[in-house]
Chain A
Amino acid sequence: MSDIGPGVVVLAANKGFEAPGPSDFNLRDVFFGHQVLLTKLSLLLILGALVAFAFLRATSRKPSLVPSKGQYLGEQAYNFVRNGVAQDSIGSRDYMRFVPLLVSIFFFLVVNNLFSLVPILQFAPFSRAGFAYGLAALVWLTYNIAGIARHGFLGYLKLTCVPRGVPLWILPLLVILEFFSNIVVRPVTLSLRLFANMFAGHLLLLLFAGGGEYMLLHATGSFILKPAGIAAFLLGVAVGLLEFIVAILQAYVFTLLTAQYVGGALADSH
């Protein structure tokens, strides 16, 4: 764990403060290699899946008519995704088919994002872009295949790329734009949004913790530095609270956009 966080600053103490950067996100392989397969983040990803599964299983294993606190919590969260996200975005005709996917994505993301605030773990797997690309690829395949299965290949292309009710002369331009935005850019923004939020949050925490430590312990030259270091730590705590909101919000936004894309692919008109 010495390769992240304060360790960076301690090493750099002799040559002045080094601001944290993207290189802090390159972790060593757990098994002596060089980022071959298993870093801390891929282990966290597996742990996240297990925790999400364990939570849902524990809260739904023994359902009773008068729910316990745990069952109530699990049911509320499940209800929120099913009715608040899936039904509203996909429509009540065929939303049930996609509820398992959406619920899994939501809980998986919530747990994984909250890892960024759990002591010792302290790293959200999705602050590496590769994991986010993978998840977005899954979503991309889902909504395209769902659309093709419903409308046929050409029908689906027509649905996504040809907007209705526009004059004929502007269609050549619009069709290209719509294809670009609906097929090409969507998965990119979907993954980059998740990745960059987690990335920026972790970077901010690194900056406040590392900078506060440096000002408190190593920096010399002015009496204002030590109070400033304490203030930096307090601000870091505030950023941590903000991160808590962002972690859950991003999981919600990812799930909501997935549902919207699926709903758009299944809809009868553009």
Chain B
Amino acid sequence: MTGSLNMVGYGLAAIGPGIGIGLVFAAFINGTARQPEMQSRLQGIAILGFALAEALAIIGIALAFAL
């Protein structure tokens, strides 16, 4: 069996952003549960935070193929 260890490394690296995205949406759900009228404002912030955390995973997958 052959393959690239890059992919194993990428799998490990994806744990971090996974936790991060979980935290972002946990906070978003918490905030919405406490103050439902804030949902529309929180949504933009949550998506932004999600995108920033996700960027790490994405840079990882690009480098996993490139290096």
Contacts and interface: CB of A to CB of B under 8 A. Distances in A.
A256 interface: yes
A189 interface: yes
A21 B65 contact: yes
Nearest to B51: A253
A19 B65 CA distance: 13
Interface string B35-67: 000001100100110110011001101100100
A197 B51 CA distance: 11
B42 to A, nearest CB: 12
B47 A196 contact: no
A189 B59 contact: yes
A148 to B, nearest CB: 24
A192 B47 contact: no
B24 to A, nearest CB: 13
Contacts of A107: none
A192 B65 contact: no
Interface size class, chain A:
20 to 34
A88 B65 contact: no
A19 B6 CA distance: 14
B44 A84 contact: yes
A193 B55 contact: yes
A253 B62 CA distance: 19
A253 B61 contact: no
A196 B48 contact: no
Contacts of A19: 3
A85 B48 CA distance: 11
B29 to A, nearest CB: 17
A197 B58 contact: yes
Given A189-B55, A257-B51, A196 B44 contact: no
The A interface is mostly helix, strand or loop, or mixed, namely: helix
B61 A200 contact: yes
Interface in A156-211: 189, 192-193, 195-197, 199-200
B55 A192 contact: yes
Contacts of B61: 196, 199-200
A22 B65 contact: yes
Given A21-B65, A88-B44, A192 B59 contact: yes
Contacts of A252: 47
A256 B48 CA distance: 8
A196 B62 CA distance: 7
B41 to A, nearest CB: 8
A260 interface: yes
Contact of B62 (A84, A192, A256): A192
Contact of B58 (A22, A85, A192): A192
A202 to B, nearest CB: 12
A193 B47 contact: no
Contacts of A89: 44
15 contacts: A19-B3, A84-B40, A85-B44, A88-B44, A192-B62, A193-B54, A193-B55, A193-B58, A195-B62, A196-B62, A199-B61, A200-B58, A200-B61, A252-B47, A256-B44
Interface of B: 3, 40-41, 44, 47-48, 50-51, 54-55, 58-59, 61-62, 65
